[in-house]
Amino acid sequence: MKFFYSYIKEMQLAAKSFYFYIELGMAVVLLIIVLFVVPKNFSKTQKQFLFIDLPAPMVQMMVAGMSSSPDLQAEDVVLKSKGQKLSVKLFQGKGKKLYLAESREDLISLAESQRQPGVVVSLADGQLVYDYYMQGYESQKVVNLIKAAHAQGGGFMDLKQAVAPQIEVKSLETEGVILSDRENLVPVFLFLNGCIMGMFIIASYIFLDKGEGIIKAYAITASHIWVYLASKIAVLQTTTLFTSLLLVIPVFGLKVNYLMLILILLASSLFISLIGLIVASFYQNILKAFGILFGLIILFMLPALAYMIPSWDPLWIRYLPTYPMVESFKEIVVRGDMLYVGLASLGYLGASILLFVFANFRYRKTLAV
Amino acid sequence: MISVENLKHSYKKNSTFAVNDISFDVKEGEIFGFLGPSGAGKSTTQGILTGLLQLQHGKVEVAGSDVKKFKNKMYNKIGMSFEQSNVYSKLSAKENLDFYAKLFDVKTRSSMELLELVGLGDKAKIRAGEFSKGMKHRLTFARSLLNNPSLWFLDEPTTGLDPAIAADIKKIIRTENQRGVTVFLTTHNMQIADQLCDRVAFIVDGQIKLIDSPKNLKLQYGEKLVEVEYQTNDGSKKEIFSTIEAADKKRLIEVIDSSQIVTMHTKEATLEDIFIKVTGRGLS
């Protein structure tokens, strides 16, 4: 019963505190970002600018060829570039937009303002010459690829025809669920909101109590310090669950396994809040603890970074305690390996038991400090 | 009620002791004053007695239990009023008391009764954060009575209170003591110690210099003189008489019989005078 009373009192305090509204506000902001700012899928349409610096009959012939292509739709459009209105011809196909500029100057201006590559095709000594206007950040690999494409003198089309029959592309992952870009952000947001924020917020709650001398007063009652700590954790778990479901339900509806989601949310927030509690036990106020909290937040966020950049997934990052959290949230949203989620949850619960014993020891030892 | 033997405590766990080899007993039903300047070791001792600080050296028994083996149930018998008010500022006065009442296993006093007792009855629904320092202090004081403690630790109970409220607090302490509550009073206010305590201990630099009743200390260290100011035909006159010398006693009776007395003071020493005399140190 004492735990229940403490929990109710902590909920009352949380509802009257600034930090509770930070967490709630952050969840709402993330939800707004996911639903209204991030498009369901980011546009993958490639833009290119082209100027054909060839004799007029050749240009007319090429434009006529492109206009008659069933894969391309031609349209005259006006683009704004550096305060000027430039007339261009747009050829739009699946996943690409090709803009035909009227002069080399127009092409350079458009390539600069739209931050897209531009190509000028001209004639010299009876040979076609390609001048590429790049943005400057392209890797040497891209430059080499362009050079290779022209090595035979035939351009990309010849290269494609030359190698296509010998190349077979196979996917290693054939059963994966393709997430929309919106859905893809949810695991990271769950991780940031539920876990990383949780560590900071529980430490803040403790520092508020330390500032008011509350822990000492609690210690001189017939209740246990572990009850005090457990009620703090329970409050954090409640808010984490609430704000996480606030994020997941509007995006996924009934598509995810909510039982496993709740399990991993409770286990991971328990684990991370205990780390927050232990850190807070070593410091007197949030200013003194800020350095270590900030360092831990950065370190613990690295798995989220690895999730966002699939090509960056070094082995060492898997040893960070937050790695299984991000992976579990990912498995939840892709309706993947629930055994992994279950094992990760068990792992967090097991580690939390040890951390809780240590946190209880720390708080009993530092009551009068 | 409290037994302390050879208590030592070092915060740095080296040979610098905040409390250095002190021993004393507090009898059941007495008000024991623990007096000393800031940094003397009063709060450290109280921290150990209440289990807030871990015992390092020595033997300490509180209400029949070794503090090393303190069980939480023990706190059903103990009340503690802290020098620094420590209440939930976001909860009202009543909510504060109601919450803490639920943390004890014994019958607790009504929160409203306690708020009335300390003069906060009409502030029950106001958030503690909006209270003045003195009001918070009274709320902390009221909280310490929730569980009807048989051993009551009071740390500077009248600090920051105006004289009228301080007088009320002293009255409450006396009343509780008359009901059988043992009081361990930590203070640097010699006046309150003098008025309330059955015995006092002087602690300086972590060591107890003296333990006795204020009355005995005054008898031992005070001067047995009476200063009398009386009216004569030439105006007022001041004379000092020994209360031991026969001639002085006779003369004093004559003055009282024949003159109009303006003022008359015994020249007994105050506790503060005795503290300075014994320890060679002031209280600030």
Instruction: Please tell me whether residue B236 adopts helix, strand or coil conformation.
Output: strand
Q: Which of A13, A213, A368 sits opposite B86 (nearest CB)?
A: A213
pLDDT at A159 over 60: no
pLDDT tens digit string along B181-190?
Answer: 999 999 888 8
Residues on B contacting A at a C-beta cutoff of 8 Å: 47, 50-54, 72-76, 78-80, 82, 84-91, 95, 99-100, 102-106, 140, 143, 147
Question: Which of the four pLDDT bands, split at 50, 70 and 90, describes residue A281?
Answer: very high
Q: Which of A5, A216, A367 sits opposite B102 (nearest CB)?
A: A5
pLDDT at B125 over 90: yes
Please report, for chain A, how many H helices and E strands are present, in that order.
14, 6
Q: Which of A12, A217, A223 sits opposite B82 (nearest CB)?
A: A217
Question: Which of the four pLDDT bands, split at 50, 70 and 90, describes residue A158?
Answer: low
pLDDT, average across residues B59-88: 88
Mutate which: A205, A220, A224, vs B, most B CBs within 10 A: A220
| Burial grade of B72 (CB within 10 A; 0-12, 13-18, 19 or more) | middle
Interface confidence (ipTM) of the complex:
0.82
Pairing of strands B57-62, B65-66: antiparallel
Residue type for position A80 = K
Mean pLDDT of chain B: 88
- Residue B265's pLDDT is what? 85
Please report, for chain B, how many H helices and E strands are present, in that order.
9, 13
pLDDT tens digit string along B34-44?
Answer: 988 888 888 89
Question: Which of the four pLDDT bands, split at 50, 70 and 90, describes residue A141?
Answer: confident
CB contact under 8 A, B82 and A216: yes
The residues that bridge with A87 in the sheet, in sequence order, are: A78
Cβ-Cβ contacts under 8 Å between A and B: the total is 73
Q: Does A83 touch chain B (CB under 8 A)?
A: no
Mean pLDDT of chain A: 85
CB contact under 8 A, B91 and A220: no
Go through A65-78 and write b for each residue having 16 or more CB atoms within 10 A of its CB, e for each that does not: ebeeeeebebeeee
Question: Which of the four pLDDT bands, split at 50, 70 and 90, describes residue B76?
Answer: very high
pLDDT, average across residues A264-287: 93
Residues of chain A contacting B140 with CB distance shorter than 8 Å: 217
pLDDT, average across residues B79-83: 91
Per the CB < 8 A criterion, the answer to whether A19 and A201 are in contact is: yes
Q: Distance from A359 to chain B by nearest Cα, in Å?
A: 16
Pairing of strands B65-66, B78-81: unpaired
pLDDT, average across residues A136-161: 72
Residues 6+ apart with CB under 8 A from B42: B34, B35, B36, B155, B186, B188, B203
Per the CB < 8 A criterion, the answer to whether A216 and A368 are in contact is: yes
- Residue A128's pLDDT is what? 82
Q: Does domain B2-218 have CATH number 3.40.50.300?
A: yes
Residue type for position B182 = T
Q: How many residues does chain A have?
A: 369
pLDDT at A168 over 80: no
pLDDT, average across residues A203-226: 88
pLDDT tens digit string along B241-268?
Answer: 888 788 888 999 998 998 889 998 887 7
What percent of chain B lies above the pLDDT cut of 70?
99
pLDDT at B63 over 80: yes
pLDDT at A157 over 60: no
Q: Which of B72, B90, B106 sits opposite A13 (nearest CB)?
A: B90
* Domain-wise residue ranges, chain A: 2-39+180-365, 46-138
- Tell me the CA distances in angstroms from A102 to A48, A54, A77, B37, B213, one per residue in order: 14, 12, 12, 91, 107
What percent of chain A lies above the pLDDT cut of 90?
30
| Burial grade of A137 (CB within 10 A; 0-12, 13-18, 19 or more) | exposed
- Residue A351's pLDDT is what? 96
CB contact under 8 A, A214 and B52: no
